[in-house]
Copies of this chain bind each other. A is one copy, B any other.
Amino acid sequence: MKVRLVSSVHFSAAHRLHSESLDEDTNRRTFDKCNNPSAHGHTYALEVTVEGEIDPATGYVMDVAQLARVIRERVVEPLDRRHLNHDVDFLSGINPTAENIAAGIWARLQGRVAPARLARVVLNETEKNRVAYKGETP
């Protein structure tokens, strides 16, 4: 019996949308007020979904407290109360759009949620928009 388990968490971070591959003017037109040089920020709500079989002995897909611990160590610790353009190794040189942050979070959790497998990362940036990433399409 395959079941999905979702663990939700929040982190607060600053970012500036700005791409090295675009000139100043294109950056300004593309990212508008999110390109503001002195940065802005969000209280991000993150939902991590893993999938696996129910272990007949425990009734768990995996221990949700263990899942929460992995998310805290691998994602919340390096991101919470940080500036995503400056403070985060795994986002270094990457324009911190919600899409890119979600893909980065996926890479941080991939292979760390055994015996379950990572199924989806959802990142809510504001009450009006969020992104979902399910890994590379094979």
A2 in complex: contacting residue of B30, B94, B134, CB < 8 Å: B134
Once the chains are docked, how many angstroms separate the CA of A43 from the CA of B65? 17
Interface of A is mostly: mixed
Asked if A6 lies at the interface with its beta carbon under 8 angstroms from chain B, I say yes
Which residues of chain B have C-beta atoms less than 8 A from A56's C-beta?
21
Once the chains are docked, how many angstroms separate the CA of A56 from the CA of B15? 18
Once the chains are docked, how many angstroms separate the CA of A42 from the CA of B7? 16
Residue numbers of A with Cβ under 8 A of B are 1-10, 12-15, 17, 19, 21-22, 30, 32-34, 36, 38-45, 49, 54, 56-61, 63-65, 68, 80-83, 86-87, 94-100, 102-103, 125-134, 136-137
